[in-house]
Amino acid sequence: MKVRPAATRTFLLLAVAAGLLPAGRALAEVAVDRPGADGQAFVLLSGGGDNPTPWPTWGRVRLHADPRLLLNPDGDAVGDGPPGVALAPQNAAPHAVWSRSDGADREIVLSWWDGTAWTPPERVTDDTLDDLRPRIALGPDGTRHVVWHRDEWGEQRVWYRQPPALSGTVGTEPEPVTEAPDTGRLADVAVDGMGWVWVAYQKDPATAPGAAEGIFVARRESPFVWTRQRLGPTGLDPALPDLDRGVRIHASRGRLWVDWVDGDGVFAYRVWREATESWSQPVRLDYTRERLLAGQEEIAREMARARIRMLVLRPGR
């Protein structure tokens, strides 16, 4: 599936490359233009597997790829986590974040394509705990927004930081989106057309004893101040607390919505209603067809999300 930003040849491609990959692995490539070079070059990312929990890795998926184009080429050797990727709205340059081992714990690092190569990874976090599974969003003004969850002595909580922008804008310090005793993990982030930062995440029964599990969304009202709302239960068996519910939050064309896996072969999504400052009722969508076509769960989910996107953004909605 290709997602092409307007007026550029740079795109993010998610596909299964059966001839190039070990069985059960998914491939993600970011293609970038190289001025003065012989056309387009592919920056290669890969990750996944039949069971991507808890430590998916990525490595070189084309034997003859130019190593200068590879993001974190040795990440698979040291057990780094898979990248979260976002494209800059100005020039569609990919920015990537991932969880990297520093020998003592895991920290979040950031790298981006500068037109010729990936920049050296910059630290987003620097602490003594494991920071895991980051995601990144880029605002229309070039600001970069990163979320991740931190393992705090057996409890997982969601954190947020705005690293310094390429324009020189000063960044922010890391701040908790969920504070004790609240928990959360596997977060995603988006910036809406008004500039609000939104974070969606899941809360599991095993990590939230006595509290409601489910899908949650938080909005950043000001530094270190977040309003949180439960969008609904996950619809999955609470006896399987380690399942990734696939929660994602999206901002596009003035619309904001959250989708997640609500059951076996079923997605749910809710749309933010700006006029009433409220969320729509949940809509459920069967993605059995996508599963049959894709043959792999992660690709099927991306296909289902593309269908949800068309439904949300269609005229008249």
Confidence of residue 28 (pLDDT cuts 50, 70, 90): very low
Give the model confidence (pLDDT) of 139-191 as tens digits. 988 899 999 999 988 889 999 999 988 766 778 999 999 988 888 999 999 99
Q: Is the model more confident about 268 or about 207? A: 268
Q: Is the model more confident about 283 or about 234? A: 283
Token match 């593309």: residue?
306
User: Percent of the chain having pLDDT more than 90?
Assistant: 47
Confidence of residue 32 (pLDDT cuts 50, 70, 90): low
Is pLDDT of 16 > 50?
no
* Nearest of 69, 78, 158 to residue 116 by alpha carbon: 69
User: Percent of the chain having pLDDT more than 70?
Assistant: 72
pLDDT confidence of residue 295:
85
CA distance 233 to 123: 34
Q: Is the model more confident about 116 or about 306? A: 306
Confidence of residue 315 (pLDDT cuts 50, 70, 90): confident
Q: Is the model more confident about 11 or about 292? A: 292
Is the pTM above the cut of 0.85? no
Is pLDDT of 39 > 90?
no
